[in-house]
Structure 1
Amino acid sequence: MRTLIAGIGALGGTIATRAVSAGVPVWLATRTAESARALRSSGLRVSGIGGAAVASGIQVAALEEYRGESFDLVVLATKAHDALKSAPFLSSLLSPGGTLLCIQNGGVSQILSARLGSSVVLGGVSNLGATMVEPGIYEQRNAGHLLIGELASGLSDRAANVARTLSPAIETRVTANMRGAVWAKLLLNCSVTTLGAIAARTMREYIASSTGKEVFRRTYDEALSVALASGTRPERMIVEPIPGEDYGAWIEQVIAGYGDAKPSMLQDFEKGRRTEIDFINGYVAQVGEEIGVPVPMNAAVTELVHRIEQGQLQPAPARLDELSLRLSS
């Protein structure tokens, strides 16, 4: 399966390094020709969980330089905004029956499936923890995997074939409930990650306050209501996505699984990067409005993150107090 990996950041770079090291023939696409030249010269290296791997003599070029080429599989591993911009061009590189595998957070795969067609787009979510130390050098922080599947639900030969292609590089599993898996991760991104970024705290830290507990519950419950109202049953990841009767025990499970990680969105704030909020809480707010489910907390969270992006506010625990007061007035 002739494979192109577009986006050589933390996730795409880690997969690419392990793929080339394992002898999987892949081509790599960067945003600029300068980046491609630098990676051709330096090669790729990954360390950490899963062991060290080195990739030299890599086939890498700027995305535009692949015009006229043909691939059976394109792994779209860019940031969400770049994914929406580049997906139409990438889909033009697919051979007949080819697949565009989207592995971004949030609603990206569902948005692209609606635009390009479910026969083109295959959904994916990752729980692989990886960081890019510098271009071409990556650190893998857990033994994570890719979960892929049809967004229209059900199992398919093409998902199984893609899993076989990528498995030498990263453990790749197939689910019959891909939309449920996307929403399960989205629920946690909306609450654990975004609220931690706003407060500049881990979940374990911010949820120790009564305000943190309240804002978390409202944000999560709204997102869950949207998922269920849209006909999606979120799939179990590390924890059950639907809290049981013992809510306190469920919260403790979430904290045990995710409570001590530094939110990736907080890192975006610190580095002055554009966040993916429009595809996380913003996506929940958009879908909620479309199907008539009230989502005031997720809408307010989205607006607040944009104000932080614009430098009008700084992330701090007081931001959660402001959200609570705003929606109780």
Structure 2
Amino acid sequence: MAARIAIMGTGAVGAYAGAHMAQAGEDVTFIDMWPENVEAMRANGLRVTHLRDVPEFVTPVTALHLTEVQKISRGQPFDIVFICTKSYDTEWAAVMMRQYLAPGGFMVSLQNCMNEATIAGVVGWGRTLGAIASSITVDLALPGHVKRASGKGGAAHTVYRVGEVHGRITDRAKEVARLCALSDSTLVTTNLWGERWSKLVTNAMANGLSACTGMISRDTLMNDALRRFGARLGSEAIRTGQALGYSLEEVHHMDPETIAKAGEGDPEALAEYDAHRLAEAAKGGGAHRPSMGQDMVKGRRTEIAFINGYIVDRAAEIGIETPANAALTRIVQQVERGELQPGPEHILNLRLN
């Protein structure tokens, strides 16, 4: 019997991955808190478009409002629940879906940030997996319509990395990888925590900068001061992750040590970092707003406390200073509250020791 799958939080990533599962004939139920999104999915299905190379498609889906989740108690429980909400909604989403999880079922964090521990606090570590969507560049542009600002990653870039918290390769990790691979390239990793922290570094370098400046990623890369501030953000995050014992993977297709040294002012590393990031921008990379930039434009709460703020908190626990990440966290929160208007001057005028 096919697994019953729930996508809890049908935002950009949940909609994108789940639409491909539904199109392939998997038994998927989409649950969301945006009424217009649910109604659009019911009426028209989920529409998926790409910037290039991939044909548009629309697939019919089963969609529920939050208020309708209680209906599930009259049917079969879910075998796999993908938690795809924003990080600040993780705990209540896991609590809500726990009662509709099959006895042998489990939850998968398909989110930004480090949310596995929060989910495990609800259902236990034995029922918790992680899945990372790396540089996926998706946006829920309209209700029921997810856009990807690229083609497929394919062999050039592995998008999904699926792993168990204990690092062993299991059949259920392979099954989650199979489901993710319906939408793009996927691997099963033995290094979930290293992959997770590496993705956190990637987000820390770009998301908050877009959110507080109002700029797309490419424009922040083309500005020397902003690009190098991004290196400093990454350097602090990398050094914190290393001190915490994580084995980091590539960040922006670079050795994380190069980024760390660039952020610390090493001339050779900085030259390599600049050349790599500028080449990325020249080839069309970064022609989009990362998720936090999208949230700011839409007037939604950001995940800054769970990305740069989380790095600051973890670094403080072990005596590492992270002034760039602390400053960015503060600025994004001020813009979010309406105390500042988005603009690059908030970063350009910083004076950090």
Q: TM-score, normalised by structure 1?
A: 0.88
**Conserved 8 A contact 1:190-1:281:** yes
**Conserved 8 A contact 1:24-1:168:** no
1:114-133 Cα shifts (integer Å, max 9, x gaps): 55432122111113222223
- Inter-CA distance 202–16: structure 2 relative to 1 (3 Å threshold): closer
Alignment length (residue pairs)? 325
Correspondence for 2:141:
133
Q: Which stretch shifts more, 141-150 or 257-266?
A: 257-266
Residues 1:97 and 2:104 are matched in the alignment: yes
- Inter-CA distance 298–133: structure 2 relative to 1 (3 Å threshold): closer
Correspondence for 2:264:
none
Residues 1:222 and 2:236 are matched in the alignment: yes
Give the Å deviation of 1:262.
3.3
The one-letter code sitting in structure 1 at the alignment partner of 2:276 is Q
Correspondence for 2:288:
262
Structure 1 unpaired stretches of 5+:
none
CA distance in 2: counterparts of 1:290 and 1:278, whole angstroms: 16
Residues 1:278 and 2:305 are matched in the alignment: yes
**Conserved 8 A contact 2:249-2:255:** yes
Correspondence for 1:240:
255
Correspondence for 2:226:
212
SS at match of 2:10: coil
Give the Å deviation of 1:203.
5.0
**Conserved 8 A contact 2:21-2:179:** no
Residues 1:109 and 2:111 are matched in the alignment: no
- Inter-CA distance 44–79: structure 2 relative to 1 (3 Å threshold): same
CA distance in 2: counterparts of 1:163 and 1:92, whole angstroms: 25
SS at match of 1:246: helix
Give the Å deviation of 1:109.
3.1
CA distance in 2: counterparts of 1:255 and 1:119, whole angstroms: 43
Correspondence for 2:273:
250
CA distance in 1: counterparts of 2:59 and 2:141, whole angstroms: 16
Give the Å deviation of 1:170.
4.0
Please give the residue correspondences for 1:68-79 in structure 2 after superposition, counting only pairs within 5 Å. 68=73, 69-79=76-86
The one-letter code sitting in structure 2 at the alignment partner of 1:51 is P
**Conserved 8 A contact 1:14-1:138:** yes
The one-letter code sitting in structure 1 at the alignment partner of 2:63 is V
Q: Which stretch shifts more, 149-158 or 243-252?
A: 243-252
- Inter-CA distance 116–278: structure 2 relative to 1 (3 Å threshold): farther
Residues 1:146 and 2:137 are matched in the alignment: no
- Inter-CA distance 99–170: structure 2 relative to 1 (3 Å threshold): farther
Q: Which stretch shifts more, 141-150 or 105-114?
A: 105-114
Sequence identity, in percent? 31
The one-letter code sitting in structure 1 at the alignment partner of 2:4 is R
Please give the residue correspondences for 1:1-329 in structure 2 after superposition, counting only pairs within 5 Å. 1-31=3-33, 35-48=37-50, 49-56=53-60, 58-67=61-70, 68=73, 69-113=76-120, 116-126=123-133, 127-140=135-148, 141-144=150-153, 145-202=159-216, 205-206=219-220, 211-212=225-226, 214-236=228-250, 238-243=253-258, 246-257=269-280, 260-264=286-290, 265-322=292-349, 324-325=350-351, 327-328=352-353
The one-letter code sitting in structure 2 at the alignment partner of 1:147 is R
Q: TM-score, normalised by structure 2?
A: 0.82
**Conserved 8 A contact 2:49-2:146:** yes
Give the Å deviation of 1:231.
0.9
